Amino acid sequence: MFRYYTLLTVFFCFFSGTFASSQDVEKSDEPKETPLEEVVVETQHSMQVNGASLDYTARAGTIVMREEEGKAKASVFYVAYSKTGIEDTSTRPVTFSFNGGPGSSSVWLHLGAFGPKRVLMDKEGHPLPPPCTLVENEHTLLELTDLVFIDPVTTGFSRPAPGEDPKQFHGVTEDLESVGDFIRLFVSRDNRWNSPKFLAGESYGTTRAAGLSGYLQDRHGLYLNGIILVSSVLDFQTLIFDPANDLPYFLYLPSYTATAWYHKKLSPDLQKDLHQTLAEAEAFALDGYAMALLKGDRLGSERMKIVETLARYTGLSEKYIEQSNLRIELHRFAKELLRDESRTVGRLDSRFKGIDRDSVGERFEYDPSYAVIQGAYTAAMNDYLGRELNYQSDLPYEILTDRVDPWNFGPAQNRYLNVAETLRKSMTQNPHLRIFVASGYYDLATPYMATRYTFDHMALDPELARNVTMRDYEAGHMMYIREASLVRMKKDLAEFINSALNQ
């Protein structure tokens, strides 16, 4: 999830030492720090995958992150799944998974794609009437790898320790340190240093995963076998529509084309074959459109030809494109495409339509593609933790929170955050590191062509470039909510993981 506390935490009072001076007694009524207690609930489960029984252990709990001197800094909530009956864990992979936001819990990949349970939607990803239903996820990655779903501090049930400033966790560098240190601690406690290790991140979680590839190597000497990037954003310059930044306008164009194709807003010849139409839009985006934007006000007589072609590939009127100075920001597109129907299209998944109070204005009132998943996944997660994993907490499970704002972009202040270079260095130092990149054609949050552009500009050595696998799906940001995409994604990831393990 890209958006532009622990298990029942137990507090208790304690007294240090057996004798107290009179001065100590006088101060005995002063408040004392209440230490955090780690609580882990373990349950046993079984399911069917491809006609075979898969028995597994689920652990829902917290790890208290501490300074070396012992002071508690935060309590981090996680849910871990491990296949039972594995005597030698050095041959069993473990994958650490998280979503993005910043401010998102790991619920989306957990209950949508990789975990042993998933939220039941219809085949295209539309929600069913409440109450929500959880079903066995026959496409779970647990068949291939143990799974650890991490909720960064202030998301899910994870919280700063009492008295700790939450800002120390809410930033690019701060986040890498806290999540990276959690992974190191989990690996040590679970004796998984010799296990093959993967990261799986979605949206800003891909930013985190790329950053962690460097942090884990440099700080902890922890080398990874593979990284799964779902709806990737490594270079923020490809996404941010600033007046002086023309990059997103042509990188978004093929996603606009896909959206217009889905809603049947293109000319008949372009509606025949999605992939052929996208190939044409991609070629125009890189050749004609990008060059036109580069010329700026010097475009001259070519302008109307660019306007006509943009109208052809976006489904928007020539007048609207002309008035937009050839530059169509995503929220304007989401509002304009179906304006004559009094509908908007989604940002996370442009297949979904929304209804605003009126049809004027420049942007939608809400993202209809987030609305279709928010309620179902929130209810499912809260019910699942308590009913099936026996984990109880009075804290609100923060699905996607703004309590992490303002996010500290640290070294990227006054410039665009770009962790692609971190990933390049990690792949160079660890040439066995494999990367899997999943993108959705209908994703207007992290468009697929922006992802391709980022990897095409990483300056990877040709031998290392072969370690990158890219797959596109006919769905949106959470491509796995569409059943056909989930099925294909599991197949693609199985091939990727096996390839990474059998180099």
Q: What residues form DSSP beta bridges with 79?
A: 60, 149
With residue 66 as reference, give the H or E element that holds it: strand 52-66
Is the Cα torsion angle 256, 262, 263, 269 positive or negative in sign? Answer: positive
Q: If you search the block for the tokens 């060059």, which residue do you land on?
A: 291
Q: If you search the block for the tokens 């050095």, which residue do you land on?
A: 90
- How many Cα atoms within 13 Å fall on the side-chain side of residue 260? 27
Q: Looking at the structure, do residues 131 and 211 belong to the same domain, yes or no?
A: yes
Is 4 part of any domain?
no
34: pLDDT confidence band, cut at 50, 70 and 90?
Answer: low
DSSP string covering 286-323, please?
IIIIHHHHHHGGG-GGGHHHHHHHHHHHH---HHHHHH
Q: What residues form DSSP beta bridges with 147?
A: 81, 95
What is the model's pLDDT at position 36? 77
What are the tens digits of pLDDT across the range 421-461?
999 999 999 999 999 999 999 999 999 999 999 999 999 99
With residue 373 as reference, give the H or E element that holds it: helix 368-387
Q: Looking at the structure, do residues 61 and 177 belong to the same domain, yes or no?
A: yes
Instruction: Count CB atoms within 10 A of the CB of residue 152.
Output: 30
Is 81 part of any domain?
yes
Q: Looking at the structure, do residues 152 and 93 belong to the same domain, yes or no?
A: yes
Of the residues 366, 394, 414, the one at which a domain ends: 366
Q: Which has the closest alpha carbon to 124: 338, 352, 439? A: 352
Work out the average pLDDT over 186-203.
98
Q: If you search the block for the tokens 């601690």, which residue do you land on?
A: 185
Q: Looking at the structure, do residues 488 and 449 belong to the same domain, yes or no?
A: yes
Q: Looking at the structure, do residues 348 and 387 belong to the same domain, yes or no?
A: no
Q: If you search the block for the tokens 């700080």, which residue do you land on?
A: 219
Is 12 part of any domain?
no
Q: What is the mean pLDDT of the chain?
A: 93
Is 275 part of any domain?
yes
Q: If you search the block for the tokens 């799944």, which residue do you land on?
A: 81
Please give the structure tokens belonging to residue 446. 């992290």
For the chain, counts of helices (H) and of strands (E): 15, 14
CA torsion 333-245-450-211 (nearest 10°) is -130
Q: Looking at the structure, do residues 246 and 221 belong to the same domain, yes or no?
A: no
What is the model's pLDDT at position 7? 31
Task: List Cα–Cα distances, 94 to 107, 220, 433, in angstroms.
Answer: 18, 17, 15
Q: Looking at the structure, do residues 441 and 349 belong to the same domain, yes or no?
A: no
Domain that holds residue 303: 241-366
Of the residues 366, 387, 415, the one at which a domain ends: 366
Please give the structure tokens belonging to residue 28. 């005995």
Please give the structure tokens belonging to residue 225. 């076998």
What is the model's pLDDT at position 21? 37
Total structural domains within the chain: 2
Is 160 part of any domain?
yes
Q: Looking at the structure, do residues 72 and 221 belong to the same domain, yes or no?
A: yes
Q: Which residues of 9-45 are buried (b: 16+ CB within 10 A; e: fewer)?
A: beeeeeeeeeeeeeeeeeeeeeeeebbbeebebeeeb
Q: Is the pLDDT of residue 409 over 60?
A: yes
Of the residues 320, 342, 366, the one at which a domain ends: 366
Question: Using CA atoms, how far apart are residues 280 and 297, in angstroms rounded to an integer?
Answer: 26
Instruction: Give the domain CATH number at 110.
Output: 3.40.50.1820
Question: Using CA atoms, how far apart are residues 349 and 2, in angstroms rounded to an integer?
Answer: 12
What is the model's pLDDT at position 2? 61
What are the tens digits of pLDDT across the range 159-170?
999 999 999 999
Q: Is the pLDDT of residue 16 over 70?
A: no
Work out the average pLDDT over 86-107.
96
Q: Looking at the structure, do residues 224 and 270 belong to the same domain, yes or no?
A: no
Q: Looking at the structure, do residues 38 and 174 belong to the same domain, yes or no?
A: yes
Work out the average pLDDT over 14-39.
46
Is the Cα torsion angle 273, 285, 257, 469 positive or negative in sign? Answer: positive
Q: Looking at the structure, do residues 42 and 69 belong to the same domain, yes or no?
A: yes
Is 457 part of any domain?
yes
Are the C-beta atoms of residues 273 and 279 closer than 8 Å to each other? no
Q: Looking at the structure, do residues 139 and 101 belong to the same domain, yes or no?
A: yes
With residue 70 as reference, give the H or E element that holds it: none
- How many Cα atoms within 13 Å fall on the side-chain side of residue 99? 26
β 353-354/197-203 pair status = unpaired
What is the model's pLDDT at position 8? 30
Please give the structure tokens belonging to residue 207. 């930013």
Question: For the chain, how many residues are written?
Answer: 503
Is 353 part of any domain?
yes
Higher pLDDT, 386 or 31: 386
What is the model's pLDDT at position 15? 26
User: How much of the chain exceeds pLDDT 70, in percent?
Assistant: 93
Are the C-beta atoms of residues 93 and 227 closer than 8 Å to each other? no
Is 23 part of any domain?
no
Q: Is the pLDDT of residue 276 over 60?
A: yes
